[in-house]
Structure formats: structure tokens, C-alpha cells
Chain A
Amino acid sequence: MSAWTPRILAILCNWCSYAGADLAGVSRMQYPPSIRVVRVPCSGRVDPLFILKSLQSGFDGVLVSGCHPGDCHYISGNYVARRRFAVLKPLLDFVGIEPERVQFSWISAGEGERFAKVVAKVTDDVRRLGPAERLVKRT
């Protein structure tokens, strides 16, 4: 078990969270090497299907991060995303998928340290749950 490291998909918006991740990198901050990053134009681009598909394909967790409310490059993309996540998250919990596997955060371009902390927290949560089982497709 100790050899196992969670694999987490991080879907980051181009304008804030991706730049936040970049800042964490150029500032040489340490955080667990558990994430694989996909850059999207806006958190509003994130279709819940991306999240479920990731879990089905074997990711142990998914982190979606966008600009703080009010800071969206496209004015309101993150607000619309927030409504979507507000429904997705309880729905996943309802059908019995561990809520910690799918997490959302707001990280600005200046919050490199926060990015490192969020990744550490998500990795920790997912590590505690162990490898994903429930929605994983086994063929």
C-alpha cells in the first residue's frame, strides 16, 4: 500500500489556476507528484462528463479549479460552473461515490502556495480512501 500514490486529474482554468500551478512550479514549491494537469479555457468548460470519464478511466480523484468568483476571465464562467458542481457533487455522494474523489477549488494566478496546499490536501484525502474502485471500468 505504501508504494501506491494516487493518480489525480487536475483540470485547471487557463487564466487563474493554471497560472497558479505555474507559480508554484517556478517558486520551487514542493507538493505531491500525484496530479496530471489538463488545461481548459475556463472552469465553465468543464463538463461533468469529463469528471466521470476520468474516474471511469482509472483516476483515483479529480480536482477542478478555476478563478475566484468575480475574477473569471469570461466574467461569469465560474459562476455557471459552480452551479453545475453544486448539483454534481451531491449527486455523486447520493449514488455512493466518495465525495473526496471529486473536489473543486478556486485558485488565482498569484496563489502558488495555495495551489501546492490544495494538491497536498486532495492527495491526502484520496490516499486515505485508497485506489478508486467504484466507477472504474474493468474490461
Chain B
Amino acid sequence: MTIGSELRDTARRLLSEGTVELVIGWRRGSRPTAAVPAFVTDPEEAGSLVFDGTCGTNPAVYFTRDRRQYSGRKVGVAVKGCDARAVLQLVMENQVVRDDVVLIGVACPGVLDRRRVALAACGREILELEDRGAEVMLRGAGFETVVRREDVLSDSCRGCPHPDPGSVDLLLGTPRREAASGEERERRVREFEALPPAGRWEATLREYGKCIRCYACRNVCPACYCETCFVDQNDPRWIGGTCEPTDTLIFHLIRNLHVAGRCVECGACARACPTGVDLLLLHRKVAVEVLERFREEAGMDAGARPIMASFREDERQEFIMG
């Protein structure tokens, strides 16, 4: 039995039992390379739910997008490891009532990067994608190719620290029970750090120079839910709204700091980015720094204190002038 069929059965059961009024998951969209979010209220419709490597959206984002729709309702939500942490982080921040949600954990094999998938198909139009686990089959008009999952995996899933959804109500599929080594997760951060400062600056400008300020990264981020984002605020107007390089970089730096200790590194931002900015690198850097200094990670314990709002008196403060 695949996780997809388990998910359909579970959603059908939860809805017909009346345990939940709504199940958020994924269904096939118009493109075979990306499943789209699904909102199922009728047990009959549960058959449309799917789960595979194309389910890159983090469904936790919906809880803070339309609060009226979810408050006071029992909602079932299908969650990968990172999605579960995102929901738990929202519970910690009093944005979601834990008892109102049924977390349907799905054992995640890592999601696919649609750009890498497109590359693997050499730009030919993919009409069908079949996620076979270790391999992914791509089929189009006049071609069929099988690629290794590893080669088309999303960056966020390389070195994923917590692939198995934790603190869930139900767990579908076989959990991996082993996380990637911290080394793999930090590899790109360390590589970037090895560049000279001027090189890091040039690379940062080049990368963020691609940004078109569409705010897709912010809009898909479960941790970004300020009622008025600082970039939209006009009084005072903190930063310019155009693609002027320093404005763009400040937007990203501040967004990173706003989600510091709260970002679960799901990579939804990077996958949503229309210009392919490597958004994950900075988020990883911050997460690594937070873990190293404060020995804590986002979304691990809904009962804990928010990391950036707590402190220990004897913390390392070598960055403060002696």
C-alpha cells in the first residue's frame, strides 16, 4: 500500500467519522512535476489526494493565511517532516490550536526540485512523472527516461535533519528513523564560508540580483505571517520596493532574521522562487548558527519557548566588544 492510498483512506475515514471537517493535502495539478494543495471537505473527494515527491508545498502556510477559515474548526493536515515542524512552531507561537488539528504525518523520501527535473528531461515537456522511490520516471511525447531521485532532489532535502514527522497524530508509511548527518546539511554553508569576504559579497549580490521582489518566498512561508510585512509598510517606509540591489538584499536579510529560530528549512521559499534564487543558503546559515549557539531547533517542541525570545544568562558573547 502506497502512502498516497493510505492518505486517501485516512482522509476518507477522518471526514466521514466527523473527526475533522477539512483535510489539507495535495492533489495533481496541471503540471505533472508539481502537485498542488488540496482542500477536501467531502469524503467522496478524498480520492483526489496524492503523496509523492512532487508535493513540495508546505501546507502549514494556510493556517495563517486565512485564519477565519480555520479557527475553531477541526482540520486534518498531511505533513512531511518539515511541515509537521512548521505546524508545531505555529502551535508554539499561539497561531494554531494543537487540539484543533489532526497531524497526518507522511514518511517523506524528500521532494523533487522542478528545475532539476526539467533539466533531467533536457527541457522536453514532461507529460507524466512517476515517483518510484529511489528513481523517478519522466515521460513525454517520444521520450521516457528514468533518473535517480538523488539527482533531482530539492536542496532542502539534501541533508534534511528531520525527515520523519514528529509529534504527529498518525504516521503513514515507513519512517526513515535516521536523519542525515549534520555535515551534509552544513556542507554548502561551510563551502560558502570558505570564500574570501569580497567573494561572498559578490556571490550574494549576484544571487539576490535575480530577485524580482515578487514576495513568493514570503507568501509561501508558514513562518511569515505578520499582518503588515515591513516591506509593505509605508509609514515609516523602511525599504524601497524596487529591485535596487541593497533594498532587495536588506529585504532578504531581515526576512531571514525574522524567521531566525523559527524557520524549519522546508525549502518552500526556494521552490516557489520564479527566478531560482538560492534562498535556502541563508536560512541554513542562520539555522546552523542558532543550533550551534542555543542548542535548539525550530518546531521540535510546541511547549518550549520561542528561541529568539528566550535566553540564558551565561551565553557565549564573544561578538561583543571586551
- Seen from chain A, the residues whose Cβ lies within 8 Å of a Cβ on chain B are 48-49, 52-53, 56, 69-70, 76, 79-80, 82-98, 103-106, 118, 121-122, 134-137, 139
Contact = CB atoms under 8 A, between A and B. Distances in A.
Given A52-B254, A96-B199, A137-B247, 11 more contacts: A49-B250, A52-B253, A80-B309, A83-B311, A86-B293, A87-B260, A87-B308, A91-B256, A94-B200, A94-B282, A137-B246
Interface stretch (B142-150, B161-169, B272-280, B314-322): B314-322
Main secondary structure of the interface of A (DSSP, over half): helix
Contacts of B310: 83
Contacts of B313: 69-70, 79
Interface in B289-305: 289-290, 293-294
Contacts of B230: 49
B201 A79 contact: no
B200 A48 contact: no
A86 to B, nearest CB: 6
A127 to B, nearest CB: 16
Contact of A136 (B193, B239, B246, B254): B246
A61 B92 CA distance: 37
B289 A91 contact: yes
A91 B309 contact: no
Interface of B: 192-193, 197-204, 230, 238-240, 244, 246-247, 249-250, 253-254, 256-257, 260-261, 282, 285-286, 289-290, 293-294, 307-311, 313, 315-317, 319-321
Nearest to A52: B250
A21 to B, nearest CB: 15
Contact of B200 (A53, A88, A89, A96): A96
Contacts of B240: 137
Contact of A53 (B244, B250, B321): B250
Nearest to B197: A96
Given A56-B250, A69-B313, A89 B308 contact: no
Nearest to B317: A82
B285 A91 contact: yes
A105 B322 CA distance: 7
Contacts of B201: 95-97, 134
Contacts of A122: 321
Contact of B315 (A83, A91, A136): A83
B279 to A, nearest CB: 13
A82 B315 contact: yes
B244 A105 contact: no
B321 A91 contact: no
24 contacts: A48-B254, A48-B257, A56-B239, A69-B313, A80-B308, A83-B311, A84-B308, A87-B290, A88-B257, A90-B289, A91-B257, A91-B286, A92-B253, A94-B192, A94-B193, A94-B200, A96-B201, A104-B321, A105-B320, A118-B321, A136-B246, A137-B240, A137-B247, A139-B244
